[in-house]
Amino acid sequence: MKSLFDAVSFKCSKLVTKNYSSSFSIAVKMLSPSIRDAIYSIYGFVRFADEIVDSFHEYEKEYLIADFEKEYYKAMELGISLNPILNSFQHTVKQYNITDDLVQAFLKSMKLDLIKSTYNTQTEYADYIYGSADVVGLMCLKVFVCGKEHKYEQLKNEAMRLGSAFQKVNFLRDLKDDNTILNRTYFPGVNLNNFNEDAKEQIIKEIEEDFRIAYQGIVKLPIEAKFGVYTAYVYYRKLLKKLKNTPYYEIGNSRIRVSNYTKAGLLAQSFVTYKLKLV
């Protein structure tokens, strides 16, 4: 039965989320059960595309990402894909009216990772982040507001700023690996050779402003989504604080993490804050 295959597909997306990101998986569990599968499906789609361009070095990445895109549109046309990740995602796209411009912007940024290693201008940097992160926030927002266009437009800017904040925190955390393994430099004018405390502080100031604006949207989210998004926000704010308190040379030589023990404490803190209606 197709319904059984669809259920298995969504479970595959959930498995991808759980194995690739314990932090995001925890946040999704804090969402209403009615929207969790849709968010898992979005994560599965963007994670697979990201893995193609970041990890599959021994394979022809250009072919794989092109085939992934081709199979997605085939799934949209047929209403089914034997790739369970694409099958679950196409269901979510249709159910919540996720527009194709968002999907195309995301895939464009993923393809840029195959041909572009340095972002020299603020415009190039902003365009990449829009496609790699902002539109993912917008896809999730479509689910959070159950496709209600007026609510989507109301929270659109804040959702994009939250996506930007998450992505920039990841860039700062992964500065060493992006430079030494993937040979990429996302922050304009910043690489391991000229990274210093001033550069770090400027980046952090930019991220803090993204978080400030994003929070204004979190408090307006529907109850089904608010606690889960707030949990992710709290985790990333903690990671940013650790980066802020870490000397620039350590960021350039190691990967800063938040321990599982700390994550558990942050979850408890978020729950209390949420229950006291402080968010």
pLDDT in the model for residue 183: 84
Least confident of 33-42, 155-164, 176-185: 176-185
Range list of H helices, the chain: 2-20, 22-29, 33-55, 61-78, 84-95, 100-115, 122-129, 135-144, 149-173, 175-180, 197-218, 223-244, 248-251, 260-275
CATH code of the domain in which 21 resides: 1.10.600.10
Q: Is 78 exposed, middle or buried (0-12, 13-18, 19+ CB in 10 A)?
A: exposed
In terms of Cα–Cα distance, which of 232, 220, 231 is closest to 152? 220
Phi-psi region at 149: left, alpha or beta (left = phi > 0; alpha = psi -120 to 50) = alpha
User: Are 166 and 159 contacting, i.e. CB atoms less than 8 angstroms apart?
Assistant: no
What's the number of domains the chain is made of? 1
Distance CA(69)–CA(103), nearest Å, equals: 10
Domain coverage including residue 176: 1-276
**Rounded to the nearest 5 degrees, what angle is found at the Cα of 168, between the Cα atoms of 162 and 170?**
105
Query: What is the DSSP secondary structure assignment for residue 254, as one 8-state letter?
Result: S
Q: Is 73 helix (H, G, I), strand (E, B) or coil?
A: helix
pLDDT digits (tens, 9 = 90+) for 243-257: 999 998 888 777 766
pLDDT digits (tens, 9 = 90+) for 192-201: 778 889 999 9
Distance CA(103)–CA(47), nearest Å, equals: 13
pLDDT in the model for residue 272: 52
Q: Which residue has the tokens 């794989």?
A: 64
Distance CA(123)–CA(131), nearest Å, equals: 12
Q: Which residue has the tokens 């999730």?
A: 140
pLDDT grade for 276, boundaries at 50, 70 and 90: very low
pLDDT digits (tens, 9 = 90+) for 79-91: 999 999 999 999 9
pLDDT in the model for residue 12: 98
pLDDT digits (tens, 9 = 90+) for 11-27: 999 999 999 988 888 88
